[in-house]
Amino acid sequence: MIFAWDFTDNFLRPLSRMGGFFLLILGIMWIIYALYETKRRGSFKKRKVEDWDFDVTKFLKGLTYIGFIVGIFSILSGVGELILNEYPSMAYNALNPGAGRSTFTAIFLIIFGILTFFKPINDLPIASIIGVMAATALVVIIALIIPNGVVEFIAGFIDPKIVLIILFIIIFAIVALIVKFYIGVLIAISKLISWPPLAFIFAVFCLIQGFLLLVIGVSITGYI
């Protein structure tokens, strides 16, 4: 077919060959995280912090949310490298023709991709966001599929708009409570990896590995 699009060949395979590039991006993201957390906490070594520090610029806050996207692409790159046996950079393939994947790089991308994806969870009211999205979607679906006869019947007792508002509030409350209950583990992980010294160590490691792959063509562990 003319418009056929293959996800593996057109997206996942090229992405899996960009492992070194995504490691550099991860390194930059974790430097931003380290700077952000240092500014937010008022100290490089301070472990605990309250809610938003309003002295932190909106620009820096916005950059931390890019972690969601960077994390997803890094995970996909690592998974693609593993399952498709693809090299993580052109330099790596040139130095090791036919060697295929760098297992260490692929696993590293997946783990740090997950951590980078989870990092902003500590800063976002994620339960409220998911609650609003779920409530909005369900109310819209209900409004679209409910028969006109039912709407007219309800209108005889109460304004249908009020019913939809009540449904929205109920669904939002239920979903937000459920999500908040189960997301505790993710928030704990997010708080752990938010410590600036740890974020800086992550950044340096990613930058070194990314540089070695893209420029020299080797992994920090050698040829693994």
CA–CA dist 106, 211 (Å, integer): 15
Model confidence pLDDT, tens digit, residues 100-145: 888 888 888 988 888 887 776 655 565 566 666 666 677 667 666 7
Angle, vertex CA 68, rays to CA 40 and CA 15, nearest 5: 135
Q: Which backbone phi and psi does 53 adopt, to 5 degrees?
A: -90, 115
Write a three-state SS string for 117-155.
Answer: HHHHHHCCCHHHHHHHHHHHHHHHHHHHHCCHHHHHHHH
pLDDT at residue 39 above 50? yes
What is d(CA 180, CA 203) in angstroms, rounded to the nearest whole number? 29
pLDDT at 24: 92
Amino acid 192: pLDDT: 72
pLDDT digits (tens, 9 = 90+) for 156-185: 777 766 777 777 777 766 766 666 666 666
Q: Confidence band (pLDDT; 50, 70, 90) for 153?
A: confident
**pLDDT attached to residue 36:** 76
For 182-204, the pLDDT digits (tens) are 666 666 666 677 778 888 888 89
Q: Is the dihedral of CA 47, 51, 53, 58 positive or negative?
A: positive
| Weakest mean pLDDT among 42-46, 120-124, 174-178, 208-212 | 120-124
The pLDDT-based confidence of 57 (bands split at 50, 70, 90) is low
Whole-number average pLDDT of the chain: 75
- How does DSSP assign the chain, residue by residue? -TT---HIIIIIHHHHTTHHHHHHHHHHHHHHHHHHHHHHHTSSS-----S--TTS-HHHHHHHHHHHHHHHHHHHHHHHHHHHT--S-HHHHHHSTT----HHHHHHHHHHHHHHHHGGGGTS-HHHHHHHHHHHHHHHHHHHHS-HHHHHHHHTTS-HHHHHHHHHHHHHHHHHHHHHHHTHHHHHHHHHTTSHHHHHHHHHHHHHHHHIIIII--BTTB--
For 60-104, the pLDDT digits (tens) are 666 667 877 888 899 889 888 888 888 888 888 888 787 788 888
Residues shown for the chain: 224
Give pLDDT, residue 3. 42
Residue 21: band (very low, low, confident or very high) from pLDDT cuts 50, 70, 90:
very high
Average pLDDT over residues 44-59: 56
Determine the pLDDT at residue 176. Answer: 64
pLDDT value, residue 89: 87
Look at residue 22 in the predicted model and tell me its pLDDT: 92
Say what the pLDDT of residue 224 is: 56
For residue 54, is pLDDT > 60? no
